[in-house]
Amino acid sequence: MSANSHSRGLRSSARRSRHVLSTLVGLLSFTLVLAACSSTTSPSTTSSTAASSSTTTSQPAGSSITIGMINQENTPAGSFPEIRQAELAAVGYVNNHGGVNGHPLVLKVCITDGSPSGSSSCANQMVADHVLLVSIGIDFGTSGDVPILTKAGIPIIGGEPLLAPELTTTDAVFFAGGSAGAFPAQDAYIGEVLHAKKVSILYTANPAGTAAATTFGEDLLIKAGVPKSGIKLVGASASATDYTPAVSAANADSPDAMMVLFAAVGCSRIMLAVASLGVTAKMFYAGSCLDKSVLTAGGAGANGSFFNSEWIPYNDTSNPQVALYHQVLTAADGSAAVFSGFSQTGFQNIMNITAVLKTMGAPATLTGAQVLAKFKSLTNEPNFMAHPYTCNPVPVASFPSVCNYNDRIVEYKTGSVTDIYGKWIAGSSLFG
- 130-180 pLDDT, tens per residue? 999 999 999 999 999 999 999 999 999 999 998 889 999 999 999 999 988
Mean pLDDT of the region 381-391: 98
Q: State the average pLDDT for the chain.
A: 88
Q: Which residue has the higher pLDDT, 33 or 207?
A: 207
Mean pLDDT of the region 323-344: 96
User: With contact defined as beta carbons under 8 Å apart, do 402 and 178 qualify?
Assistant: yes
What lies within 8 Å, CB to CB, of 252 at 6+ separation is none
Range of weakest confidence among 35-49, 101-115, 179-193, 198-212? 35-49
pLDDT band at 282 (very low <50, low <70, confident <90, very high): very high
The yes or no reply on domain 47-177+316-401 and CATH 3.40.50.2300 is yes
What is this structure's pTM?
A: 0.88
Position 237 scores a pLDDT of: 94
Q: Which residue has the higher pLDDT, 215 or 323?
A: 323
In DSSP notation, 155-217 reads: -EEEE---SHHHHH-SSEEBSS-GGGTHHHHHHHIIIIIS--S-EEEEEESSHHHHHHHIIII
The DSSP 8-state label assigned to residue 71 in this structure reads E
Position 57 scores a pLDDT of: 61
CATH of 182-309+411-431 among 3.40.309.10, 3.40.1160.10, 3.40.50.2300, 3.40.50.300: 3.40.50.2300
Neighbours of 157 (CB within 10 A): 27
Position 13 scores a pLDDT of: 45
Alpha carbons 126 and 108: distance in angstroms, whole number: 8
Mean pLDDT of the region 385-395: 97
Position 21 scores a pLDDT of: 57
Q: Residue 54 pLDDT more than 90?
A: no
Burial grade of 343 (CB within 10 A; 0-12, 13-18, 19 or more): buried
Alpha carbons 289 and 357: distance in angstroms, whole number: 34
pLDDT band at 20 (very low <50, low <70, confident <90, very high): low
Residues of the chain with CATH 3.40.50.2300: 47-177+316-401, 182-309+411-431
pLDDT digits (tens, 9 = 90+) for 322-332: 999 999 999 99
The DSSP 8-state label assigned to residue 299 in this structure reads G
